[in-house]
A and B are shown apart, each in its own frame.
Chain A
């Protein structure tokens, strides 16, 4: 297995799928000549040419719609948003068009397309550029939503997303592009709706996804030194969501903390807690706690930003609380 960055793992997935199927093309701002705002499409223009790696003006609504139209008649677009914050301008095409085209047409028109780009807060980018959107899109029937945390999952899920005949919202971690990890050699696909147990322990379950899975793994390693062993259930896709994996873990540990990057109200955690109370009501030894961004737009100042974000310290406090250790 080679160790590669999250960014390179994504590039590999794009390259392999572009090679595999000539209906696949990549479209978005700065994806071609500039090699991608975050360099995920580096080298692809040279290899595949301008019909398949397509630079657009700053027209999110327009090029997302172009993707939808092309998908309706048989192409397999990958629409890149420079960041998901700008996808708000295109949400009509994602939600009102792509997500329901098949249903509205009684199954006549499928939407084999991917909307992808960086999601979540980076560092000090302020309120309009620091947002995690997974619960918005997970809310919508007709969409699938991926939130890979590691290079291996990024590659495997992106390849699956491109091959999927449904519109997939693919949320890359803006802070993850430079992180490294092992990626299996050869063809590597990760199925949707299958969580990955990233750490194993009996004392508490931490259910998470995306960038927060890395935080959870670090927390697991730190707590292990104190003799506290936790399960880290990385959902990997939040729609479909692996309810079985969640129940399996909670039924074992009897305690759970749900950790996510986004806001609390109607966040992913709300849904996970609902599954837990339905599936594991009699197994719980403590109320489930949630760790998430504070209920404020992201502030710019370093100290306020730190205070607003979920982090290892907040996760550890919650774990100790559900274990009645605090």
Chain B
């Protein structure tokens, strides 16, 4: 396990360190106090980069707010899992990898797709089940795939894609490449057998895979304390002789730093890493699940929403004097405009033609 996990927290620039401490005791993701202005050796940012990070997170937020609206109107069907509240993770992670790296994830995949650079129009069209969707309307919300950005899918079976990530790592090694594969999944997936098999293989064979647990503390209605014998999910790294880190997933800078180490470890050291990113989902598990009041209290939700990753980043940039209120609004308006454009595009895109029903069952239909 990396010593990084035990690194003393950097002095926090947050207005009320005492309040942050209190939140920590209550079990909300801790603020380890990374500073926007700080240029770390591993993941330096410039004002321009910081603005891009904010833009990426705002886009996901605004896009998914429109998803909720479209769902209510019946334009999106089936299961739809929103990522709202977790955007610092997708943005931070994607900002640290290269276009030729690979990304694979579970069903809560819109935010990651957008942060990866999948065209918002093709994501929305996919959600609308239209011809111009990234999978031609055949996948839907849980199955966003985009070969252009090496986005290897949203996968619907909990834990099922974790060994697939090891397979991608195997292929990278096989071809003597220096890419990495990033694999996202929820904390509930760490109890699935496939997760354990994948970690063992990745470590045994020195595969360049970064396994990211997005610990939002609930798997549907089940709190981690009710599902996981050892809530310290990082011990699973130790069990497989793998480096592991735990990081505040609401802090995009912390995410980036931690990723910098993991990417280096994968590219240069050819070793996998397990990262726990502590976060919280602000919406229900899916569109049919209550936001709060059943398995988590409104108080708990509100407490956690104070650490909205977008707000945290915004405040830091703002406090550093890098962005005026007006510029901030402009960024937000841009994000809204992209979401609106994606909606309009998706709405205008036709349903897939019926002859597509039998297309792509096999690669070669001649045999």
Query: CB within 8 Å of B: which residues of A?
Result: 29-30, 33-34, 37, 55-59, 61-62, 85-86, 88-89, 122-129, 294-297, 299-304, 307-308
How far, in whole Å, are A8 and B189 apart by their CA atoms in the complex? 31
A-B pairs under 8 A by CB, number: 127
Which of B78, B129, B191 is the one whose CB lies under 8 Å from A59? Answer: B191
B361 CB → nearest A CB, Å: 5
B130 adjacent to chain A (CB < 8 Å):
yes
Contact B138 A300 (CB under 8 A): yes
Known: A33-B221, A34-B220, A301-B137. A58 touches B158 (CB 8 A): yes
Contact B361 A295 (CB under 8 A): yes
Contact B295 A33 (CB under 8 A): yes
Contact A57 B222 (CB under 8 A): yes
Which of A34, A37, A58 is the one whose CB lies under 8 Å from B191? Answer: A58
Q: Name the B residues within 8 Å of A34 (CB-CB).
A: 220-222, 294-295
Which of A85, A122, A125, A296 is the one whose CB lies under 8 Å from B357? Answer: A296
Which of B78, B194, B222, B358 is the one whose CB lies under 8 Å from A300? Answer: B78
Contact string against A for B residues 132-154, beta-carbon threshold 8 Å, 1 for contact and 0 otherwise: 00010111111100000000000
Contact A125 B137 (CB under 8 A): no
How far, in whole Å, are A52 and B170 apart by their CA atoms in the complex? 44
Contact B130 A301 (CB under 8 A): yes
Q: Name the A residues within 8 Å of B40 (CB-CB).
A: none
Size of B's binding interface in residues, CB under 8 A? 42
Contact B78 A57 (CB under 8 A): no
B193 adjacent to chain A (CB < 8 Å):
yes
Contact A299 B222 (CB under 8 A): no
A298 CB → nearest B CB, Å: 9
Contact B361 A301 (CB under 8 A): no
Contact B227 A304 (CB under 8 A): no
A158 CB → nearest B CB, Å: 24
Which of A37, A126, A294, A308 is the one whose CB lies under 8 Å from B78? Answer: A126
How far, in whole Å, are A302 and B358 apart by their CA atoms in the complex? 15
Q: Name the B residues within 8 Å of A296 (CB-CB).
A: 357-358, 361
**B window 104-143: CB within 8 A of A:** 126, 129-130, 135, 137-143
How far, in whole Å, are A297 and B135 apart by their CA atoms in the complex? 14
B108 CB → nearest A CB, Å: 14
Q: What does DSSP make chain A's interface, helix, strand, loop or mixed?
A: loop
Contact A58 B189 (CB under 8 A): yes
Known: A29-B222, A33-B295, A58-B189. A301 touches B78 (CB 8 A): no
Known: A29-B220, A124-B129, A300-B137. A57 touches B191 (CB 8 A): yes
How far, in whole Å, are A307 and B191 apart by their CA atoms in the complex? 38
How far, in whole Å, are A61 and B158 apart by their CA atoms in the complex? 12
Contact A58 B77 (CB under 8 A): no
Stretch of B28-36, B172-180, B254-262, B348-356 that contacts chain A: B348-356
Minimum-distance CB pairs A-B, first 8: A300-B140, A124-B77, A301-B129, A124-B78, A301-B137, A57-B227, A128-B156, A34-B221
Chain A residue at minimal CB-CB distance from B140: A300
Q: Name the B residues within 8 Å of A56 (CB-CB).
A: 227
Chain B residue at minimal CB-CB distance from A302: B129
B7 adjacent to chain A (CB < 8 Å):
no
Could you pull out 21 A-B pairs where Cβ atoms are within 8 angstroms?
A: A34-B221, A55-B222, A57-B219, A58-B188, A59-B192, A85-B156, A85-B157, A86-B158, A88-B157, A89-B157, A89-B160, A124-B129, A125-B78, A125-B79, A127-B139, A127-B143, A128-B155, A294-B357, A300-B138, A301-B129, A304-B138
